[in-house]
Amino acid sequence: MSTAPRKPLLPLDDALAQLLASVQPLGQTESVSTTDADGRVLAQVIVSGLQVPPCDNSAMDGYAVCVDDVLAAQGALPVSQRIAAGSVGTALQPGTVARIFTGAPVPPGADAVVMQEECAVVEAPDAAVPSVQINSTPLPGQNIRRSGEDVSRGDVVLAAGTRLGPAALGLAASVGMAQLQVVRKPRVALFSTGDELVLPGTVPPEQMPPGAIYNSNRFFLSAMLRRLGCEVTDLGIVPDRLDATVQALQHAAASHDLVLTSGGVSVGEEDHIKPAVQSLGQLDLWQIAIKPGKPFAHGRVGAAHFIGLPGNPVSSFVTFVLLVRPFLLRLQGVQDVAMKSIASRADFDWPRAEKRREFLRVRRNDQGGLDLFTNQSSGVLTSAVWGDGLIDTPPGEAIQYGATVRYIPFSELLA
């Protein structure tokens, strides 16, 4: 009896392209305080209604001067006024200087600021005001921050689809935005499958039954989802039964944008995710050509997206950062979701060329190279804690000591 030939595994780039093509960004938005918008995705264009800074101001504590006066002076120049940040000075009198502080408006008639460390105050007993000896030759424009050099009136400060971080929030505040219109949070239902799974806290380590393991995936997946701005509904552990899996999927899909599972997506007799999803909707992706993480699935259950991650913790972790993260960002309207790699030096040998594209756990060393975690098994979560990134290794490619490799820091993938 002949059997149908097995389909080739889908390359990662093709799987990601297919996954992103299936995304229709969320249309709903909400207004939140700029203070509370960290990590959210902007749903509006921010246009500045003012100049930042609003006027020419001093970048230093020092003295505002007219360069020609300093060049012509035979000695110290009298101080004619004092200008602090938040106050407004008068026009600089010819032949004088103004004491000025960082952020204070530069008075008309001044065309440079000399830092106080390059000046010496001369206190003459019979002088009504102190004088200052300028001990350097200033240049026009020196230490002056020009009006609008950061933002000009009418500039697009932040584009819709920007994922807001601390600097972006500060920029929004600098043009007066106390509230921001952001994309609503994706609603994600999360559950794990596996009769071997036990929740920490329910059974002490010394009483764990043979073959049982604590459910670690639940904790790092929940954390990563929340970092991506999601509202997470944790549905716990679903028994290894088809009826229970179908029921959990139906319940989760009814009120969520994404149903995310870990485990049950392999090809064993106790892996019920595939038939359950197919009975309720459609399965578009099934197994991809990467290591770790081959058993990855995507489809739909009703109106909700479905993504099934492998049960092995490192496989689940890696497929999340490579595929689920860009999917969720695109769902919120972010366009640039490509992972960025850095050309780095491998300070190890990896002679075992893998047929699939492989992601090795590494960390940077003090010499600027990368060290390899000794055990690259998909069940060794220690490697993701010890490491600070992944090496993206093409199929069939071994790594020799000193070779240049593509390094993807976790700071890029977990932000």
CA distances from 76 to 58, 108, 122, 142, 407 (A): 21, 21, 7, 20, 59
Q: What is the DSSP letter of 295?
A: -
User: 227-259, pLDDT tens digit by residue?
Assistant: 999 999 999 999 888 999 999 999 999 999 999
- At 242 the three-state DSSP class reads helix
- At 65 the three-state DSSP class reads strand
What is the chain's length?
A: 415
* Residue 83 reports pLDDT greater than 70: yes
Average pLDDT over residues 8-19: 95
Give the pLDDT of residue 126: 72
Give the pLDDT of residue 267: 54
Give the pLDDT of residue 6: 67
Report yes or no: 180 and 44 within 8 Å, Cβ to Cβ.
yes
Give the integer Cα–Cα distance in Å for 27 and 12.
28
* Residue 3 reports pLDDT greater than 60: no
Give the pLDDT of residue 123: 80
Average pLDDT over residues 344-369: 97
Give the pLDDT of residue 2: 44
Average pLDDT over residues 163-191: 97
DSSP H helices in 320-415? 325-331, 382-386, 410-413
Give the pLDDT of residue 124: 73
The overall pTM is greater than 0.85 = yes
Of residues 264, 232, 221, the one with CA closest to residue 245: 264
List, as one string, the DSSP characters of 91-146: PPPTT-EEEE-TTPBPPTT--EEEEGGGEEEE--TT-SS-EEEE-S---TTTTEEP
Give the pLDDT of residue 172: 98
CA distances from 404 to 101, 341, 345, 370, 394 (A): 50, 12, 5, 10, 13
Kindly report the CATH number that applies to the domain delimited by 12-27+185-331: 3.40.980.10
Planar angle of CA 64, 70, 72, nearest 5 degrees: 155
* Residue 393 reports pLDDT greater than 80: yes
User: 259-316, pLDDT tens digit by residue?
Assistant: 999 987 765 545 688 899 999 999 998 899 999 999 999 999 999 999 999 999 999 9
User: 103-115, pLDDT tens digit by residue?
Assistant: 999 999 999 999 9
Give the pLDDT of residue 74: 85
* Residue 1 reports pLDDT greater than 70: no
- At 179 the three-state DSSP class reads strand
Which stretch of DSSP H or E encloses residue 391? Answer: strand 389-393
Average pLDDT over residues 367-384: 97
Indicate the pLDDT class of residue 7, thresholds 50, 70 and 90.
Answer: confident
What share of the chain has pLDDT > 70, as a percent? 97
- Is the domain spanning 342-413 CATH 2.40.340.10? The answer is yes
- Is the domain spanning 29-45+159-183 CATH 3.10.20.30? The answer is no
User: 126-148, pLDDT tens digit by residue?
Assistant: 777 899 999 999 999 999 999 99
* Residue 12 reports pLDDT greater than 50: yes
Average pLDDT over residues 327-354: 96
Give the pLDDT of residue 125: 72
Per-domain residue ranges of the chain:
12-27+185-331, 29-45+159-183, 57-145, 342-413
Give the pLDDT of residue 128: 78
- Regarding the domain with residue range 57-145, which homologous superfamily does it belong to in the CATH classification? Molybdopterin biosynthesis moea protein, domain 3. (2.170.190.11)
* Residue 122 reports pLDDT greater than 50: yes
Give the pLDDT of residue 233: 97
Give the pLDDT of residue 240: 86
Average pLDDT over residues 404-414: 95
